[in-house]
Structure 1
């Protein structure tokens, strides 16, 4: 009887820990989503009038290294550095999340855009041609 009771108690503790870990992961995932949305909202609130005021900034962390994506960063508008700090905080938190929960990713390298252009008041990335033009005579 004692043995059965101990087994049941041990099983209950294990299941409670697993459920608690899942709940924490859901909460952490939700926090990541909220942080990312805040970053996007702050970026979208800045009109793109001069492309030289913007640059690509890495955002997030893949489980096997490197950023998840790039976002247009309004360098001139973020004089306090608050947005850049939020981007770095998000990236660090996602790296910790990946490690804590054993997340895996596609490990595809995400190339940094060459720069930013202003299109209809919104920032848009561009990539320089990586293949040299063919010269024919």
Structure 2
């Protein structure tokens, strides 16, 4: 009986050594935390791209000095997470064919950014400016006084 048990144990041990278990795929093993990509860096990159596009728009606008408000218009720019523009920007009518597509591109990219990173905002509507004035060669948007303000009694 002892010999049978010893023979059985020895044969099981030898058979188990003979079976080869497939090595784990290194791609499915847990990654070291230090090697994991920083998800915030993607957000930072996207934010920088938006900033560069905004600066490009502003630089293009700055090429034309504001001397007559009749030569200028304003347009909504950007996108708030709740909808609507994030602000308004003045641009020279003479360059609208160059500037308006960039403004639309910026607005759609900001909307995509907001959706991708699940951004939140105050959902306040940005009032449309009442007009434009020229000051030191720059177009300045005139605020809309018809919008209720907590500081101004109605």
Q: TM-score, normalised by structure 1?
A: 0.76
Q: Which of residues 30, 55, 58 in structure 2 aligns to 1:37? A: 55
Structure 1 residue 56 and structure 2 residue 66: aligned? no
SS of alignment partner, residue 123 of structure 1: strand
Structure 1 residue 10: deviation in Å?
5.4
Superposition pairs of residues 1-137 of structure 1, within 5 angstroms: 9=28, 11-12=30-31, 19=37, 21-75=39-93, 77-78=94-95, 81-127=97-143, 129-130=145-146
- What value does the CA root-mean-square deviation take over the aligned residues? 2.8
**Does the aligned pair in 2 maintain the 1:61–1:67 contact within 8 Å?**
yes
Structure 2 stretches lacking a partner, 5+ long: 1-20, 148-154
User: Partners in 1 of 2:78 and 2:114 — Cα distance?
Assistant: 11
User: Partners in 1 of 2:83 and 2:69 — Cα distance?
Assistant: 29
Runs of 4+ in 1 over 6 A off after TM superposition: 13-17
User: Partners in 1 of 2:108 and 2:145 — Cα distance?
Assistant: 32
User: Partners in 1 of 2:145 and 2:40 — Cα distance?
Assistant: 45
Structure 1 stretches lacking a partner, 5+ long: 132-137
User: Partners in 1 of 2:35 and 2:113 — Cα distance?
Assistant: 21
Aligned pairs, how many?
A: 124
SS of alignment partner, residue 81 of structure 2: coil
Q: TM-score, normalised by structure 2?
A: 0.69
**Does the aligned pair in 2 maintain the 1:56–1:112 contact within 8 Å?**
no
The residue number in structure 2 matching 1:135 is: none
Q: Deviations over 1:45-104 (max 9, x none)?
A: 2101110111121111011111111111211x215x111100100000000011011111
